[in-house]
Amino acid sequence: MAVDYRPAPGTIPTEPGVYRFRDRDRRVIYVGKAKNLRNRLNSYFADETRLHERTRRMVNTARSVEWTVVATEVEALQLEWTWIKEYDPRFNVMFKDDKSYPWLAVTVGEEFPRAQVMRGNRRKGVRYFGPFGSPWAIRQTLDLLTRVFPIRTCSDSEYKRCNRIGRPNLLADIGKCSAPCVGRITAEEYRKLVNGFCSFMAGDTAPVRRRLINEMQEASAALEFERAARLRDDLGALDKVLEQQVVVLAEDVDCDVMAVADDELEAAVQVFHVRGGRIRGQRGWVIDKAEPVDLAGIVERFCLQFYGEQNEVVPREVLVPALPDDAEALAELLSERRGAKVDLRVPRRGDKRALAETVEKNALQNLQRHKLKRAGDLTARSKALEELADALDLPEAPLRIECYDVSQSQGEAVVASMVVFEDGLPRKSEYRRFVIKGERKDDLASLQETLRRRLSKLGDQPVGSPMEEGEEPRRGFHYPPQLLVVDGGQPQVAAADAVFAELGIDSINLAGLAKRLEEIWLPGEEYPVILSRTSEALYLMQRVRDEAHRFAISLHRTRRRKSMSASALDDVPGLGESKRKALIKQFGSVKRIREAELSELEAVPGIGPKLAEALQTHLRNPDDNAA
């Protein structure tokens, strides 16, 4: 395959290093490493028919390749993962959870930490346990453990409410909360409860059981039978929690067991987290293979990404289905991450081998379930993009699509949304919202303002033109789409086309999707493009349009609620904008301001006794004010 950016023969070094492929806008689309850079890069420019479909698309999308030579394989591993995190290349293998697993989280960074269910990215100041199979399993565990460790599980708003009225909720009355909100326990005593809870969840269960057994025996000997019965029930609750965590290995074993099931296009990865010999959690990932990657390569990429995350704990032992070629370098990197030696190995016999086979069965089942989902089907996405390019007469498949929608209520709370799809999948990190301010505008004027604000960020260089070597690449908001879609028909497309003409943009394709008949309108065309109702291209356009509508209306509703809440305070004498904002920030809503006592209102900065009394009178007696 001949590409115009292929390096001249002999110019590529034979040392180990890391390489980057860039597209015409100098955006990094793939990062890789190699023991021998020359051999690895030359393989990309071999016979096109021998390349993997996704690899061929990556090479054709790229417009340049560059490399950095390093001294050791460990340095290559570190630099590769650093660049993958920095550039987020679209063609790299990225492990994404096949579902969002719930965790039992304890907000240890707060004065009075709370135990709760959490999903998504990890946060600072929070300690996580799990993951669990369902939120119900976490709530059942908390219901049992709060008998022994009565830490709070209420929301922050509920905690503040109880603190304000001086009365705890029902959980305190039944002994499942120590009620720090009303001062029934000191911060030091509460911290001991939290530490005991976290130690138990981390696997250190023996001290708690011994303490309860001793206290139960002492209470029985002292003829305090009611207290002894309560301690017996507490001990039973702990044992029930322990029964839910299967014992698979010796008590001193801490390890992660990994397994992979894959085919030519995709791979499923499963990990069982074993702590103290018990299975504490299970997680799964499904990936699209950006290039032909063997089992050892998947293991290497997974370990780099998973244990490279800031909050992930590296155990003493990582059991894998195959060792990568540079296993020693990877083990050294994991040891640096943990601060102690990490054993990376393949289990060959005994209980660990049997557990690895169980994990492998789970990986195979996950891959089979995933293949039934169309959203992750690379073939369907490729077909949709190709069909769309043919239907709209585009020069190439639109790998990046942006869609815009406007939401308002009779000229009030006007907002617009921008959503981004890359390779047929939503790229939520690059979504944007626009607040339309100033005089009232209709949908068309608001759409034009939004497009001017967005397209002006592309810079002075003509949109779509290649950047010169050494120029800073466009990122995120500054990266141009191949196709820009507006929610609407001919009027919306004409309005957007006017902005294109005003800004001198002719390298971005424009289209509009009308809701009524699902017609696609192009600028300057008298008749729309009609796609088959079963078309993958139409299905993709509908997903893009519906996502833009959802994203816009969610912001509109939020702003409208805030506007309606603030309007009730507008007529209070002496209450300016800054004081209204302070009240809303302190109480959250007009309803809570109305319920607040005078002393609570006076505690807000800028609110004196007279203003607090006027505010309370205005909100609690609106009819008198109207009269």
Query: Which residue, 446, 407, 414, is CA-closest to 551?
Result: 407
C-alpha distance from residue 122 to each of 139, 245, 280, 307, 370 (Å): 19, 23, 18, 14, 25
Residue 60 neighbours by CB distance under 10 Å: 13
- Which amino acid is present at 171? L
pLDDT tens for residues 6-41?
888 788 888 888 999 998 888 888 888 888 888 888
d(CA 405, CA 9): 50
Domains of the chain, residue spans: 17-87, 255-371, 380-458+478-561, 570-626
Residue 25 neighbours by CB distance under 10 Å: 22
Residue pair 257/352 in contact by the 8 Å Cβ criterion: yes
CATH second-level architecture of 380-458+478-561?
2-Layer Sandwich (3.30)
What confidence tier does 346 reach under pLDDT thresholds 50, 70, 90?
very high
Residue 504 has pLDDT above 80, yes or no: yes
Q: Which of 11-25, 435-449, 575-589 has the highest mean pLDDT?
A: 11-25
Length of the chain: 627
Q: What's the CATH fold of domain 255-371?
A: Nucleotidyltransferase; domain 5 (3.30.420)
pLDDT tens for residues 180-228?
998 889 989 999 888 888 887 776 667 777 777 887 888 788 887 777 8
Query: What mean pLDDT is predicted for residues 283-311?
Result: 77
Query: What mean pLDDT is predicted for residues 328-351?
Result: 87
What confidence tier does 469 reach under pLDDT thresholds 50, 70, 90?
very low
Write the DSSP string, 26-81. Answer: --EEEEEEESSHHHHHHHHTS-GGGS-HHHHHHHHH--EEEEEE-SSHHHHHHHHH
300 in the Ramachandran plot: left (φ > 0), alpha (ψ -120 to 50) or beta?
alpha
Residue 484 has pLDDT above 90, yes or no: yes
Query: What mean pLDDT is predicted for residues 241-259?
Result: 71
| pLDDT at res. 497 | 92
Residue 353 has pLDDT above 70, yes or no: yes
CATH for 570-626? 1.10.150.20
Residue pair 416/436 in contact by the 8 Å Cβ criterion: yes
Strands 64-69 and 17-22: antiparallel
Structure-model confidence comparison of residues 305 and 538, the more confident one: 538
Q: Which of 268-277, 452-461, 586-595 has the highest mean pLDDT?
A: 268-277
For domain 17-87, the CATH class is alpha beta
Q: For residue 319, what are the β-bridge partners? A: 257, 345
Residue 98 has pLDDT above 60, yes or no: no
Strands 343-345 and 317-319: parallel
| pLDDT at res. 267 | 84
Q: Do 17-87 and 570-626 share a fold?
A: no
Query: What mean pLDDT is predicted for residues 323-330?
Result: 84
